[in-house]
Structure 1
Amino acid sequence: MLLLIDLDNTLVDRTAAFRRWATGWAPAHGGGPADVDWLISTDNDGYEPRERFARSIAARFDLPDPESVLAELREGMVQELELDPRVGQALVEATAAGWSPVVVTNGTVRQQESKLRRTGLDRLVSGWVISEGVGVRKPDARVFALAAAEAGLPLRGWMIGDHAEYDVGGAAAVGLDTVWLPRGRSWPDGLPYRPTRTAADCAAAITALVGA
């Protein structure tokens, strides 16, 4: 059975990792609590384009080289990531039960593969599809088809993710069932679709599917 899973804030807690990075990086560059809050707010949960974000950071902290800031930003995020052992165990159990977990993520190949290897997820999934590498991004239908092909399976199964449009909307449009991770949010108003299920976190989502 095909099991597509988002990476950031689904398989790994990106928000917590960024907060750890910001809390350490800002004081090391002369910043205080307000600068940490600014970093977290401006990051926009990872949706602020990295190059533009690096330029903004360089300007705020009066740093001469945005490229160096960008490198620190990317490397620091990877180093701060941690894999919840419950997620790892859930993936092992899913694979043993006949599921084929494939990561479907937007982002650059270098950054996202670094995250997969840093956390050991590369050894726990059947494969991955990264938007930069395939030339299409979620919610484009093609990225889900490519993920199914990565597993050698038809495009039938489930998608787990935290983004209402990219993960749930994109997957629902190609006929996949979906599990949405609210992360304390309400489902957005006005969308013409809803998730098949919701779950408190990724481990709980995978465990529930395997158990069913």
Structure 2
Amino acid sequence: MPLVLIALDDTLLDRSGAFRLWAKGFLDEIGAPQADLEWLLSVDADGLTPRWDLADLIRDRYRLNVPSIDILEELREGPLTFERLDPLVGCALRIAGDAGLVPVVVTNGPTEIQDTRIRRTGLDQYIADWVISERAGVSKPNPRIFALAAQRVRMRLGGAWVVGDSPEADIGGAAAMGLPSVWLHRGREWVDNRFAPTRVVGNVIQGISAIMAAQ
């Protein structure tokens, strides 16, 4: 039974798509031009920009007469209303489970938010377990967080696959452990010459299929 350690953001859940939808509505709400959408997406940096910093950037750019904490709450809750689990992803996970694969989510981020996303979208029904960096006290690409994920389901880390869209956090983590990996390219080219993914695919469904074909 191969263990499959899968990222959450922009792998199992379309975090970027949900943020884009929220951003369009937010810009309309504050009377900002839709041309600013690309600016907002760029400063968000796929969620890597700290939320407090992003809230300050938004407040300063649009001279909003509200405290940053109000914008922070909007940044945390707003995109969640647009986030859904793709039924085809759920189906792929179900098929993978029936075939003997054991999918476990390994994600960086705050515990409360990531827990909420996993449960609210129903993703928890399709995975064996999940590990969140804030709760674990260690983040990807540190091998310890992947080892904790294996322990959660009482499986050996050896022979596991790592699936994700982050070259550093996911594929770098797999390389550090000597594990095979699947990278979701999302339209990008692989440019890191320190390590490389075992497979390159367009989405997580293709990634699961690649792992099943390799068994």
- State if a TM-score over 0.5 links the two structures: yes
Q: Paired residue for 1:180, among 163, 170, 183?
A: 183
Look up the equivalent residue of 1:113 and give its one-letter code.
D
Query: How many residue pairs were aligned?
Result: 211
Structural mapping, 1:82-161, within 5 Å: 82-156=84-158, 157-161=160-164
Structure 2 contact 199–210 (Cα < 8 Å) conserved: no
Structure 1 contact 161–180 (Cα < 8 Å) conserved: yes
RMSD: 1.2
Matched position secondary structure for 1:103? strand
Matched position secondary structure for 1:129? strand
Structure 1 contact 183–200 (Cα < 8 Å) conserved: yes
Structure 1 contact 181–200 (Cα < 8 Å) conserved: yes
Look up the equivalent residue of 1:84 and give its one-letter code.
D
In the other structure, the counterpart of 1:3 is 4
Mark the runs of 5 or more structure 2 residues left unpaired by the alignment.
none
Structure 1 contact 81–118 (Cα < 8 Å) conserved: no
Matched position secondary structure for 2:195? coil
Structure 2 contact 3–102 (Cα < 8 Å) conserved: yes
Q: Paired residue for 1:165, among 145, 164, 168?
A: 168
TM-score by length of 1: 0.95
More deviation in 60-69 or 192-201?
60-69
In the other structure, the counterpart of 1:26 is 27
Shift of 1:60: 2.0
Task: For residues 28-79 of structure 1, give each alpha carbon's deviation from its aligned partner in whole angstroms, at most 9, with x where no partner exists.
Answer: 0121113322211110111111111111112223232111111111111211
Structural mapping, 1:74-85, within 5 Å: 74-85=76-87
Shift of 1:100: 1.1
Structural mapping, 1:36-47, within 5 Å: 36-47=37-48
Mark the runs of 5 or more structure 1 residues left unpaired by the alignment.
none
Structure 1 contact 136–143 (Cα < 8 Å) conserved: yes
Matched position secondary structure for 1:148? helix
CA distance in 2, matches of 1:94, 1:152: 18
CA distance in 2, matches of 1:59, 1:127: 40
Structure 1 contact 141–174 (Cα < 8 Å) conserved: yes
Look up the equivalent residue of 2:181 and give its one-letter code.
T
